[in-house]
Amino acid sequence: MSLRYRLALVSAAGVALALVLAGLVCYVVVRRELRGQVDDSLKAQAARIAGGDLQALGDAGLPAPSPNAGGPAQYWQIVAADGVIVGALGGVSLPFDHAVWAVAHGRRVSAVEDVHVDGSHLRLLALGVSGGVVELARPLDSVDRVMSKLRLILLLICVAGAGLAALLSRGAARRVLTPLAEVASTAQLVSETEDLSQRIPIRSDDEVGQLASRFNTMLDRLQSSRAALHRSVTDQRQLVADASHELRTPVTSLRTNAEILLENPDLVREERDQLLSDVVEQSEELTTLVASLIELARETPEEQHFEELRLDELIADAVTRAQRNTSSVAFDAQLEPLLAYGIPERLLQAINNLLDNAAHHSPTGEVVEISLSPDGLRVRDHGPGIDPTDLPHIFDRFYRGTNSRSRPGSGLGLAIVYRVIDQHQGTVTATNAPDGGAIFTVKLPNTHPLEPHPLPKT
């Protein structure tokens, strides 16, 4: 049985139970009230008879109460203690049973009971008098007819109320459970098709609406995770493919030179030294390429590896290294004291790559300009600049622009810069300067100027 039908059944049962209880209370109260009126009228007449004499009552008849008190009883009977009827009214013989006998012999003052005489339902009150008992009776047929109709009405109300409650509960359950059905169908659809773009419409702000909202949030996260995993797998596959292609050339050249040295042990010294020099150069190129590949294959750094650092001092160390390794160009650094948050080793590697790239593209005697301010790090060279068609791909792995293809290199330096800055939640952009050369701009979050220490008071 579905949840919708179970809710309708439970609601109908609850309403039916409530109606039955209310009907029982109503029935008991009405029955007591109607029978109480009959009893009150009998007692009102009995009050006028109390203390009377059997023979006197038989001769004079029974006194009757006023119409406001119910009027005289329709049936009465005066019976002596030995059971002889002294007088009667109504044309029926009222029973002289054990209760009436007990009143006639003084064992009870009075007795009230229901009796059936000649097919009529009567309410009988027996009152003891001197020498016998007086029996007063009123018919209960009209009360019974009213109670019978009331029972039928209450039964119909219970049945109709339970049915209406079932219909309303089913409709309410359908409205309430529709979002749950949508959640179930969406979950089944996602399970069958693996389509994480499915979403559940949010129709309310109640618990069911919150469930739909959280289910959509879960799907968003799953879709993001799946997309990130797909990108990661695609990037790794592309990295392996690109690395295989890039490694093939230096490995082949290195193997060729080694085979020449092995097959020709009698080479002249000049040729042998040249081949050995090529082997060393190719080994260094291969080592650099492998190190760059390892750097690109690194996972995102853990949060606890980040630390506060002096970015200006880090850049100054990078400038000193670049100037030591490259004597053909000069480096002009204008650095403001600046605090940043990151991994010093990774940021230093990215800055070194930027400076090496600027030095490689700068003509001899030119100046590489480096500036650091709260607006970011700016590195500018005065080389040929970047071809406009290369700008969208300048940070791609193994991509070598038009102006770089004639120079040695793997095409991984700027890709590492982009990867490191992206891992630090920053941005790096490349543009061409209006008067020639390329400009690289790096912006990192959570950077702020170093606050100067106040001078002591004298």
Q: What is the CATH number of domain 303-449?
A: 3.30.565.10
Domain boundaries, the chain: 3-147, 207-297, 303-449
Reading the chain (458 residues) residue by residue, the pLDDT tens digits are 566 677 777 877 888 888 889 889 998 999 899 988 888 888 888 888 877 766 667 656 677 777 776 677 788 888 888 888 888 887 888 898 999 899 888 888 889 999 998 888 999 999 888 888 888 899 998 888 999 999 999 899 888 888 888 787 777 777 766 777 777 777 787 777 777 777 777 777 777 777 778 888 888 888 888 787 777 777 677 666 666 655 666 777 788 888 888 888 778 888 888 888 878 877 876 776 676 667 666 655 444 478 899 999 999 999 998 898 888 899 999 999 999 999 888 898 889 889 988 998 888 889 999 999 999 999 999 988 888 888 888 888 766 655 554 454 456 778 888 988 988 889 999 999 988 889 999 999 988 887 654 545 44
Strand-by-strand arrangement of the 85-89 sheet: 85-89, 75-80, 132-139, 120-129, 110-117
Q: Looking at residue 458, what is its pLDDT?
A: 42
CATH of 207-297, one of 1.10.287.130, 3.20.20.70, 2.70.98.10, 1.10.3720.10: 1.10.287.130
> Which DSSP category does 437 fall into?
S
Per-position b or e across 169-200, b if 16+ CB within 10 A of its CB: bbeebeebbebeebbeebeeebeeeeebeeeb
d(CA 252, CA 275): 14
Query: Six-digit token pair at 190?
Result: 């996602």
Cβ atoms within 10 Å of 378's Cβ, excluding its own: 16
Cβ atoms within 10 Å of 380's Cβ, excluding its own: 21
Q: Topology of domain 3-147, per CATH?
A: Beta-Lactamase (3.30.450)
